[in-house]
Every structure is written in structure tokens, then in C-alpha cells.
Chains A and B, each alone.
Chain A
Amino acid sequence: MSDLALPSRLPRPSALGFVLGLAVIAFVIASFTTSGIAPDKLSRGIPALGRLVEQMFPPSVERLEPVLLSLLQTFQMAVAGTILGLVFSLPLAILAAPSLSPHPAIVWLVRGLLALFRTVPDLVWAIVFVIAVGLGPAAGVLALMVDTIGFAARFFAEAMEETDKGPREALTAMGASRSGVIFSSIIPQALPSMINTSLFSLEKATRGSVVLGLVGAGGIGIELKVSLEMFDYDQAATIIIAIFLLVVAVERASTWVRNRVL
């Protein structure tokens, strides 16, 4: 054996690193303790879940018609909210794109607004709009619109920024107006990405619209809430299956459109 010293397998942590590591481990343990997840609770919960599933099947088709009408209203809310959101996303995306915006301060301001729209959950927006415009689908549509703007405007801005600068330069060199450059060079180039984002927005809004009814913002959520509160679990199963089929159908349709258009 040689006398050469081997380096240690793990680097020795600094005192601060050691303390921070301990703090992180303590916080993780505390998180599990606070959440109350315990093996005895889980062992009691699994049979209860089994009983719930048992009561859910077979699903009741007694109120199928009003459920389907609510489902249609939910999808209509998603479509209206998405379209309104996309319409407002386009100008906001132009203002949020550094190379297109008239002033850096506007970029900063619009990006801040979009971050606010994105970070506040749609359920919170729904509560805000229920207070503002009252109970019903209008509040849901407005909540989905704001949520779509936060998501789509950001991705539209990024798609516009990533376009080839060459055609833009060609139009600028011939004295085209700013709107001419945007609509005849930048948007046609960004269009595939924008269509993709729009379809994802519709999928997201469809999923989101389902729960908005829980706070009174219209749609099938209120049906689900009432069924669960009245212990009509077979009725709730029908609603859950209907929601599942709607979301899957929208996702499949959106994938089909994406493959055809892009």
C-alpha cells in the first residue's frame, strides 16, 4: 500500500451548511407531523374509502339530464373564459415582450400584472368575481379569463421574442409600421406556438371550470358539492365520471387539432 492520502468520499460541510441541513430535516419531519399522516389513520381510512366506493356504485342516472346540462354550461364557461382571455392576452403579450413594447417600464408593469394573474389560484379569482358580479357562471367566466391571461400572455410574449429577427429587420428596413412588423412578421412566425398555448389554455380552463361551482361561480361544481353534502354518493359518481369524460374529450380533441394544424 502506498502512503498517499485518499481524499474523503464526502466533502466536510461548513458549520453553516451543517446547521442549515439540520434545519431542513427538522422542517420536513415537522411537516409530516403537522399534516397528521399516521399509519393507524391510513389503516382506518382505506376501509372507509372502500365503503365510499361501494356506495358510489352503480352510479345513479336519475338526474342525468340536469347533470349533463351543468356539464355543458361548465364547458361553455371554459370556452368563453378562454376566448376572452386569449383576446386580452395578445395586446398584453406585445406589451410584455421587451423587443416590441414601447417602453421597458411597460414591460416591467405588464409582466408584474401577468405574474399576479398567474400566481393567484383561479378559485380565489372566482371568489373575488362572485363578490363583484354575484353568483353564477359570469363570475366563473371572468375567473377563467384572468387565469388564461396570466398563462397565455406570458407564453405568447415568449413565442414572439423567440421569432427569427431577419424578417422583422426586412420589414423595418422598408419603413413598415410597428403594427405591420408585428402582424405580418412576428405573429405569423409565432402562430404555431400560440395555437399550442391556446389549446393548453382551453384544457386548463376546462379542468379549472369544474371546481369553480364549489364557490358559486357556476358550472357542475355546485352539483358535485350538493351531492356529496347530501350523501348521494351514487349521484356524485355520475358527476365525477361525466367530468372525467369531458376533460379527456377536450384533451383528445386538442391533441387532434394540434397535430392537424401544427
Chain B
Amino acid sequence: MNLAFTSITPAAEARASAAIAISGLSKSFTPSKTVFSNISFNIEPGSIVALLGANGAGKSTLLRCIPRLIAPDTGHIRIFGEEVTPARRELRKLRTRLGFVFQKHNLVGRLSALTNVVQGAQARGLGARAWLQSLAPECVREEAVHCLARVGLAPMAAQRADQLSGGQSQRVAIARALMQHPEIVLADEPAASLDPQAGDEVMQIFASLMREERKTVVFTSHNLDHALAFADRVIALGGGRVMLDSPSARLRASELRDLYV
């Protein structure tokens, strides 16, 4: 009997089963300024990963490369085995599977908290019905209020987003990400623009909701306590490469502090 075998390496197998697989990724903004070079790692489905590094280490750039908000120079990114490509239609489709929580919340200030959350449903192909809460079907409006309730803001649904505090705005942004039904949530320093107490509250809500929903999460942070408390795994960038990649249970804050020296 003549059987043809295809050899599958363990690395290829890991990439195929990963929620996010990054291989050989490089990015530089000018020829003399390389942000990172030849970075590779995989992120397992359902895990929460903290991406650490000093200012300019490339955390936010790397995070933005995943949905191709910034185009990498070389390398590959795969989302559940599907390559992130510049082709517009495919990219849009892939982005609908990725939620993104920004440091500065990025809400439309003139619109209500409810409309901002309803807009998350644009990722689900609702089109114009998800432009404003007044255009949305009743079930979508109800779901959006439910998302707001999960972040503790249902009573503020009608409030204009620019009248909310920083912590409340970030919670609305989390509710918008939930409304999207993403498989992966990326968060760029979600607590950085908040005072320590509001930052802790937002991270607590964010992490518990993500665990409840079994989402794969990558968040960047400068807060080492947040990284250790809320992440399963810590990846640290420095000098344009991965300096540390370890389960957070094996790490201590003092070890992580050395990354900033």
C-alpha cells in the first residue's frame, strides 16, 4: 500500500490551533527606527495575555498590527488559522471577530451611551440599523441595555457619552466590545487614562466579563499588578524583541519591574 504522509511540525500544529498566531513579525516606522523585529508567539483560545514593555517598546504598535490598523513590514498574523491580509473585504470580515478597547475610549461624545453600544452591532452585519439606537430593532436595543447593565451602567443609557467620567466611558467601550460578539478582545492600556481606583474597577469588570464569556484577550499595560492579577500569561517586549514570555503565576512584580530598568 502506498500512503502519502504530510509532515505536520509541532510548531505548525500550535499555530493552527492558536487564537492568534504571530510569526516573524517586524515593524519599523523609519529605516533607522525599528519598533520590533522577527517576533513570534501564539496565544491559546480563552487565555488572557498581558503585553508589557517600557514606553516605545512597541506594545501598542503590535496590538494595532493584529487587526491591521497598522500594517506590519514583514511576518504573518493568523486569527484562528486565518491569515490577516490587506485585502479589504477579507480584512473587514476578520476584524468583525476582533473587539478593540482603546486607551482613550474612542466613543462618539455627542451620542448617548446606548447608541455607542448599539454601534458595536455593526460588526454583526446590521448595517444602517446599528448606526443609531433610534434606528435599531428592539431586540438590539434591549441587548445593548443588557451589555450596559453588565458593566453597571444601564441607568446611564440615555446619557451623552461626553458627560460620563473616564471610568464610565471605558465601561461603555467595554459594553460596545461585548455587543460586537467578538472571539478575541484586544485592549490597549484600558486603565491608563483613569485614576488608580477607577482603573482597578475597570480592569476588574473587564477581566471578569472576559472570563465569563471565555474570550481570548490581549491587553497592554504599564500596571504590573494588573498584569499579574488579571492575566494568565505575560509577554514583555523590549529592544525590539520578546524579552519574557511566562505564565503570570510564575512571576513576581519585582521581576517585571526589571523590564523597565
Contacts and interface: CB of A to CB of B under 8 A. Distances in A.
Contacts, number: 78
B237 interface: no
B219 to A, nearest CB: 15
Contact of A183 (B104, B128, B182): B128
Contacts of B115: 184
Interface string B108-145: 11110001000110110001101110000000000000
A164 B109 CA distance: 10
Interface residues of B, number: 35
Given A176-B123, A184-B131, A170 B106 contact: yes
A25 B7 CA distance: 88
Contacts of A66: none
Nearest to B177: A174
Given A169-B102, A184-B130, A188-B111, A174 B69 contact: no
Interface in A181-240: 183-185, 188-189, 191-192
Contacts of B92: 175, 177
Contacts of B220: none
A255 interface: no
B108 A167 contact: yes
B106 A169 contact: yes
B67 interface: yes
B51 interface: no
Interface in B55-102: 67, 69, 91-100, 102
B68 to A, nearest CB: 9
A94 B15 CA distance: 42
5 contacts: A167-B107, A177-B122, A180-B131, A185-B119, A188-B110
Interface of B: 67, 69, 91-100, 102, 104-111, 115, 119-120, 122-123, 127-128, 130-132, 173, 176, 180, 182
